[in-house]
Amino acid sequence: MGFTLSQIIKPQFVAITTPTALVLVTKANGTTGTTVPTGTQLTLSRCRIKNVTANPVTLKLFWVAAGGTAVDQYQEVNITIPPPTFTQPFFEWSPGIQLAPGDAIFGLAGTVSALTISGSGGIST
């Protein structure tokens, strides 16, 4: 079994209206997908969320087990992301979440084109 420190969530805007699966880095070679592949586990250690507006924006993140859909949430986090400042240009969150094969992360922003998200952690194969 190998472990690699890596970007886990590719930088991307968070959708509004319909929860959307976030694009994950699923292999150390940079392969991406919206679910964790067989034989792999992801550890999401740190998320950086940037609010690109002048007002606070709500963010809902949730994890879905293998084979589930956006309505099959099993862990949910609701966060209000403050607008950026000179000394704090992004919101940093350390969830420490383990994702198993088939799991996915969905996101839903409270305002259109308001939040970007990226994350880092480890890939175990």
Instruction: Provide the pLDDT confidence category of residue 18 given band limits of 50, 70 and 90.
Output: confident
C-alpha 93/C-alpha 40 separation (Å) is 23
pLDDT in tens, 101-116: 999 998 999 988 899 9
pTM, entire model: 0.85
How far, in Å, CA of 87 to CA of 60, rounded?
Answer: 25
CA–CA dist 81, 89 (Å, integer): 11
Assigned architecture for domain 3-124: Sandwich (2.60)
Name the residue with higher pLDDT: 17 or 83. 83
With 90 as the cut, is the pLDDT of residue 85 above it?
yes
The whole-angstrom separation of Cα 120 and Cα 25 is 9
The per-residue pLDDT for 101 is: 94
**pLDDT above 80 (res 79):** yes
On whether the CB atoms of residues 51 and 89 are closer than 8 A, the answer is no
Count other C-beta atoms under 10 Å from residue 40's C-beta: 19
Instruction: Note the pLDDT tens digit of each residue in 30-72.
Output: 899 999 999 999 999 999 999 999 999 999 988 888 877 666 6
Tell me the pLDDT of the chain averaged across its residues: 88
Residue type, 54: A
- Extents of the domains making up the chain: 3-124
